[in-house]
Structure 1
Amino acid sequence: MLLPAGSGTNPFNSREGHMQRKEFFPIVLCSMFSLLVGASHARADEDCRYASRPAISFVEIQSLDLRTQQPLTVKGKLNVPVEKSRHGTCSQTRQGRPVVVILHGSAGVDSRGNFYARALNDRGIATLEIDMWEARGVTGVANRPSHPIFTYPDAFAALAFLSSYPGINPDRIGVLGFSWGGVVTMASATEAYATRFGGALRFKAHVAHYPVCYVYNNPYIPYSEFGGNASNPLTGAPILIQVGENDGYDDGAAPCVALKASLPAAEQDLVTVVTYEETYHAWDRLQVPVTAEDPFAHLGAGGTIQIKPSVDQAYRAQKKAVQFFAENL
């Protein structure tokens, strides 16, 4: 309503204006509250949307240096998925969450760890990738330890660390290893090494990618006993072995198939071997192709191996590994 010029009447000073003011302020306050609540919810939704990535932390784990029998600090990257609850709040502490320990190959931590960690995290599975080389000042094949057994304690140190970590179910911990890490993964599935380095702790499921199968139960290679027929029975946890048809260490997939066949019938039921056609060692390392010299190559004859990525097969292997853990953890 427009007032006549010079009337001097102020609607907020009159009795009627006072009533209008009493009605007006609650409306304003309610509107402001709605805006604030809406903005708060928008921020919460935005925070949760961005929090769809995992909560990442960098941890230190106490392992054992077998050479010196002294404690060894191993560093790792822990990814814990963050979930949005039905109330719109974010949480990373769901009780009983499964987790997978990731073990790198001879070249050290590379793209493979994150490639599998992202997919596992998307399925609600936490991951811990440890750096076995940084702890020992290793730069690659040239100065790595003389045998994978020197890094077996690291896997079980990670298992012990996670077994007491908030929100993690100690009975739902798996392990995934590539090449050198795959050898460690295979050893962790046996009673002798699990007891020696883990005490009563056991991994629930094992995925070993191209774990150099010819070395197991090889009379020329120490610490290679694998399976009940070699006086080192398996723990009973399921094992998935994924290997390339053109693997340069095993010169194909046959040694992995033969290893499974050499086990007692009950242990054969625990092991699945998947072969990927036209793939080389570390085909799921989605980086530029390289070659490497390794004395363990070509069934122990030594020489050059090709490391060539295969994108389609890498995603197939990723899907297979994630599904295996989802079903067994």
Structure 2
Amino acid sequence: MARFIGAALILFIVTLFTSHGHAGEARPKFPPDEMLAVPSLTLTDEQFFQGDTANAVAVTLTGQLRFPSWNERLPAVILLHGTNKSGAVARWAEFLNRMGVATFRLDSFGGRGIGEVEIHPSRLSFLAQFYDTYRAVDVLAAHPRIDPSRIAVMGFSRGGSAALYTSMRRFQTLHGPSKTRIAAHISFYPACNIQFVDELDVADAPIREFHGAADDTTLPAACREYVTRLNDGGKDAVMTEYRGAYHGFDVPDARPGFVGGAQTSRNCQRREENGKIVNVATGKPFTYTDACMEPGETRGYDKAATEAARAAVKKFLTGVFHLN
């Protein structure tokens, strides 16, 4: 009798985790995803630079946390979307999960009632996403199944700028996470045509930047120059370029060719000055209606570049997170 009960129990457990339920019903993911709330603020450029959080608008963002297994104290990567929340983020989440890394897909738009900032970039300061990133790090660091010493940030386009520049010590002092330090910064095709005060004073965490050499949305030359200056200052920063690859080269469903509509600041040289972002050409505060703004960009998935970037990220994070 005991043998029969034991066999029945084993059969029940196996059925529980392998059954597809009713016909046509998808099997639930196991372990299940979690939706986490991230308390943040919607800061203007001036509020961000001045550390003025008292007068900013409070907002609650959300993010999807995915676990590769039930193991506790997992390393995690916070994934930061760009101006239109492209499909690259979801595919990178799947790739990282297969490595044994938890992923947190932060949504900086939904909680603010924004669908995109590709056509209308003035809807949200890109610096607000820097602040969001720090708050997401704090939320993850408090999660019982996440190892707070192994949290990295990884972003794409506008999110790539957040992943890159949240490494700056000055920004971390003003707004950075209070529960831990960011273990690594991984940035894909960010905009580097802006010079921040003390931008070479970055934290002691490795920086990796990936760019298509043919990118006409966020020009790689500006990032190459910035990373070179970081290297000259003894910082652990590496930029990798892929010949012939365009902006969003890792997005398989991106429509190939030149696409109009999206507003780009590729021709704008900007710098931080007296708590504002200034257009270098005019000496006046930068706006998204300045003459240097230009619509349209070239897109196209590059399978070889994507596979090379994935291999590089896997090797990098294996070392940073001490994975088997």
Normalised to the residue count of structure 1, the TM-score between the two structures is 0.76
1:279 and 2:219 correspond: no
What is aligned with 1:81? 68
Q: Where does 1:116-155 land on structure 2 (aligned, <5 Å)?
A: 116-140=92-116, 141-144=118-121, 145=123, 147-155=125-133
Runs of 4+ in 1 over 6 A off after TM superposition: none
2:43 aligns with one of 66, 69, 78? 66
Match of 2:52 in 1: none
Provide the rounded CA distance (Å) in 2 between the counterparts of 1:296 and 1:280: 16
Letter in 1 for 2:15: R
Structure 1 residue identity aligned to 2:141: S
Post-superposition Cα deviations, 1:174-233, rounded to whole Å, max 9, x if no partner, equal 000001001111121110111211254421001000012232x2xxxxxx34643xxxx1
2:231/2:237 contact within 8 Å kept:
no
**From 253, 259, 262, the counterpart of 1:293:** 262
Q: CA deviation at 1:38?
A: 4.7
1:7 aligned residue: none
Relative distance call for 1:38 and 1:186 in structure 2 (3 A) is closer
How does 1:4-83 map onto structure 2 within 5 Å? Answer: 29=1, 32-33=4-5, 35-40=7-12, 42-43=14-15, 46=18, 54-67=31-44, 68-82=55-69
Separation of aligned partners in 1, 2:157 and 2:218:
11
Task: Quote how far apart the aligned CAs of 1:315 are.
Answer: 2.5
Match in the other structure for 1:234:
202
Question: Which one of 206, 212, 216 corresponds to residue 191 of structure 2?
Answer: 212
In structure 2, what is the Cα distance between the partners aligned to 1:199 and 1:44?
Answer: 40
Partner of 1:246: 214
Partner SS state of residue 272, structure 1: strand
SS at match of 2:262: strand
Deviation readout 1:126-148 (Å, 9 max, x if unpaired): 11111111122223223334631
Residue 178 of structure 1 aligns with an amino acid whose one-letter code is F
Superposition deviation, residue 282 in structure 1: 0.7
Could you report, residue by residue, the CA deviation over 1:51-100 in whole angstroms, capped at 9, with x for unpaired residues? 87552122211011224513210111111122xxxxxxxxx2x3321111
What code does the residue aligned with 2:319 have?
E
Q: Could you state the TM-score of these two structures normalised by the residue count of structure 2?
A: 0.77
Q: CA deviation at 1:34?
A: 5.8
**Distance in 2 separating the partners of 1:281 and 1:226:** 28
Q: Is contact 2:250–2:302 with CA below 8 Å preserved after alignment?
A: yes
Query: What's the counterpart of residue 97 of structure 1?
Result: 74
Distance change in 2, residues 1:264/1:120 (3 Å): closer
Name the structure where helix makes up a greater proportion of residues.
Answer: 1
Q: Give how far 1:41 is off.
A: 5.6
Alpha-carbon separation, structure 2, partners of 1:137 and 1:121: 29
Structure 1 counterpart of 2:308, from 307, 316, 323: 316
Partner of 1:178: 156
Whether contact under 8 Å (2:87, 2:251) holds in the other structure is yes
Q: Does the CA-based 8 Å contact 1:176-1:208 persist in structure 2?
A: yes
**Paired residue total:** 275
C-alpha contact (below 8 Å) 1:117/1:127 kept by paired residues: yes
Partner SS, residue 283 of structure 1:
coil
Structure 2 CA distance for partners of 1:34 and 1:70, relative to 1, 3 Å: closer
Query: Between Structure 1 and Structure 2, whose CA radius of gyration is higher?
Result: 1
Q: Distance in 1 between matches of 2:255 and 2:197?
A: 33
RMSD: 2.4
Counterpart secondary structure, 2:173: helix
Provide the rounded CA distance (Å) in 1 between the counterparts of 2:130 and 2:185: 14
Q: Which amino acid counterpart does residue 36 of structure 1 have in structure 2?
A: A
Structure 2 residue 128 is matched with structure 1 residue 156: no
SS class of match (1:318): helix
Secondary structure, counterpart of 2:208 in structure 1? strand
Tell me which of 80, 83, 97 is aligned to 1:106: 83
Larger RCO, structures 1/2 (Cα 8 Å, 6+ apart): 2
Whole-angstrom distance in 1 between the partners of 2:262 and 2:86: 18
| Percent pairwise identity | 21
AA partner of residue 75 (structure 1): T
Cα 1:226–1:244, aligned 2, differ >3 Å: closer, same or farther?
Answer: farther
Amino acid at match of 1:283: F
Q: Return the letter of the residue paired with 2:75.
A: P
